[in-house]
Structure 1
Amino acid sequence: MTGNQRLGCVVAGVIALIAGSAVLLQVLLGVETVQAQGRSALDGIILVFSYFTVLTNTLVTIVAGASALLGERGGFLSRPGTRAAVAIYIFVVGVIFAALLTGLRPMSGLTLAVDNVLHRIVPVLFVLYWLVFVPKGQLRWRDPIAWMLYPLLYVAYSLLYGALAGRYLYPFADVTVLGYGGALANSLVILAGFLGLGLIVVAIDRALAPAKPA
């Protein structure tokens, strides 16, 4: 293992600890809030893990943790393609929060700190980790199609959750306000953004790939 690979493992480990700790604290805070409303702890856990932000930070924790412990030998979890996909997902978390969700809910103290870690710090750290430490030159132009599975499944789940729970997780997908047409139109725009980002990431990967011997 080269010095750069060792440093990459350390950075991945730090990111896994930060993201994992923030997810755990978010779960505890969410359960506390839900229990104060007279609902069960299980309701709180389901609610917290229904948010794309928490699910994606959990993915970051798993993938970064595997990369820290196993390096480039970690199988599927530490493949360059897997880490590129997770970099896209967590980047979208940061972008959507900054563009559409900032300031919608008043927060302070630990709640605000955890929110900033999940929406701001982890996205920046993991995208930089991908740029600096993940080997380049192994992505294919068809990879972004496969990477769409996670956001597609989430869109379907969030609509189902909203229909069953009577509350929607994000204002841009709130069927009670926008109708199914508006919610689906917004979802399609976001999904198109995922696909476009995937193609950009493949282009960056190829541009940063080591030069092949003549």
Structure 2
Amino acid sequence: MFIFNKVLKDDALLQGLQAGTTQRRLYENKLYEKYHYLVREACFKHKISQDDAESAYSDAILTVIEHVVSRRFEGRSELKTYLTQIFTNKCVDNIRKNTTNKAEVHTNSIGLEDALAWLPDETQSAVRKLIVESEIETLQQRLRALGDKCREMILAWGEGYSDEEIAQTMGYNTAAVAKTSRLRCLEKLKEKYKSPFGD
């Protein structure tokens, strides 16, 4: 009987995720909260930080939602099993990325700061200013391309507003739903940066 109820709950969750936008946000939140305890387990199992585990979990949730909505998830395994596998892969990817980044820091003999050190002080200052201005302009272009809702959410988050405050201001049901939406927007922003033309 317990297994039957669990299956029913998964079915209800899947149907909710495949429903319309307003309805789906509610079920995205339920999915996020239902298996959030996996974050704590990952910190212990993979010896990663809370932030890295949270980031991997959010990425995994977004992937699962995408797979459910696009019907790529066919229900051959339980939703928890499917999510756990994706989450584990994201944790391992995170560990690999961090290890690679640390190795690159040690192998790159000359960086921007080293190159700037060869320039006179006033030239260094002008170059730094140009770099910052260019980065700000690029960021603004990428944010505009995301659309108003994502841009507003990312800017609010960048100014230090909590997910709770963003949820209240922008009309999301809970902070968890706002966080999931924010992470989706940040993922889109990352994709814009990966594209050579930002589109």
TM (normalized to structure 2)? 0.26
Relative CO higher for 1 or 2, CA cutoff 8 Å, sep ≥ 6? Answer: 1
Max Rg structure:
2
TM (normalized to structure 1)? 0.25
